[in-house]
């Protein structure tokens, strides 16, 4: 089975301002390496040698960085500088890069983790009809994905601050888990993403979960950080001094 990867770097980086005033989030340095380099090296641990990176905010800097560095992979650029497509829209925009792929590992550039991506991509407990597998954890957040036990099938979403809830199908006591910004999708999911439309994965997954199997992958034992917010980034810098 051919697995490719896509690293999402096209965001505006507003949560990391002022670090992103003159550079993209992907080129912010954390522990002596840019977030993009760390993401690429992490993906390479899963023995994936075909990576697509989408660009928008200061996209030319990311293109220059990739051209000036050597990685043991073919890295292609999905250029969204004219129109930001968000995550699901970004994957659809890059569809032509995945002609020969069976599944695609999706990775947010601001995630730092020791999670075993090789094991994740080859998860032997994945349900046979799973169209997407989402890495999730027990952690405090404002927005939770809801899963039906014991197979961790996605069944809804909840905003803990507003009590807003989206139900895909009724489950009496669903598990509340936080998304880790890492997911693996079967290429056939591209058939369900509208073309040339800006759309994120959350509403897409919630719609698809009504009729398709979307599974959670629990990785509580791993270390995990979102350094995409300036408060989180500064806290990690302080903690690592």
Quick: pLDDT tens for 7-58: 999 989 999 999 999 999 999 999 999 999 999 999 999 999 999 999 999 9
Q: String of b and e for 96-128 (b: at least 16 CB within 10 Å)?
A: ebbeebebbbbbbbbbbbebebeebbeeeebee
pLDDT class for 237, splitting at 50, 70, 90? low
Eight-class DSSP state of 217: E
Tell me the per-residue pLDDT of 173-217, one tens digit each, with 9 for 90 and over.
999 999 999 999 999 999 999 999 999 999 999 999 999 999 999
The DSSP element (H or E) to which 74 belongs, if any, is: strand 74-79
Q: Would the CA dihedral through 201, 203, 206, 212 be positive or negative?
A: negative
Instruction: Report how many domains make up the chain.
Output: 1
Tell me the per-residue pLDDT of 106-135, one tens digit each, with 9 for 90 and over.
999 999 999 999 999 998 778 889 999 999
Full-model pTM: 0.96
Query: Does 167 have pLDDT greater than 60?
Result: yes
* Structural domain of 234: 3-239
Tell me the per-residue pLDDT of 156-165, one tens digit each, with 9 for 90 and over.
999 999 999 9
Nearest-angstrom CA–CA distance, 93 and 219: 30
Instruction: Output the CA–CA distances (angstroms, integers) from residue 231 to 16, 183, 186, 234, 238, in the order listed.
Output: 8, 25, 34, 5, 11
User: CATH code at 189?
Assistant: 3.90.550.10
The gap between the terminal CA atoms of the chain, to the nearest Å, is 42
């Amino acid at each position: 089975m051919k697995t490719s990867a896509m690293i999402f770097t096209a965001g505006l980086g507003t949560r990391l301002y002022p670090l992103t005033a003159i550079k993209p989030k992907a080129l912010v340095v954390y522990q002596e390496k840019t977030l993009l380099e760390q993401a690429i090296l992490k993906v390479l641990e899963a023995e994936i040698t075909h990576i697509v990176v989408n660009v928008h905010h200061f996209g030319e800097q990311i293109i220059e960085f990739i051209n000036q560095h050597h990685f043991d992979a073919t890295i292609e650029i999905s250029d969204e500088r004219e129109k930001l497509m968000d995550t699901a829209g970004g994957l659809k925009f890059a569809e032509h890069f995945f002609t020969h792929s069976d599944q695609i590992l999706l990775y947010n550039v601001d995630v730092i983790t020791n999670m075993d991506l090789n094991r994740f991509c080859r998860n032997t407990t994945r349900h046979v009809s799973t169209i997407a597998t989402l890495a999730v954890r027990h952690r405090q957040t404002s927005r939770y994905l809801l899963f039906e036990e014991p197979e961790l099938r996605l069944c809804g979403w909840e905003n803990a601050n507003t009590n807003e809830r989206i139900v895909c199908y009724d489950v009496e006591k669903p598990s509340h888990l936080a998304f880790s910004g890492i997911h693996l999708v079967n290429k056939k999911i591209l058939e369900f993403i509208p073309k040339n439309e800006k759309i994120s994965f959350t509403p897409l997954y919630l719609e698809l979960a009504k009729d398709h199997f979307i599974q959670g992958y629990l990785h509580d034992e791993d270390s995990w950080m979102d350094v995409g917010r300036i408060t989180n980034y500064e806290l990690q810098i302080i903690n690592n001094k």
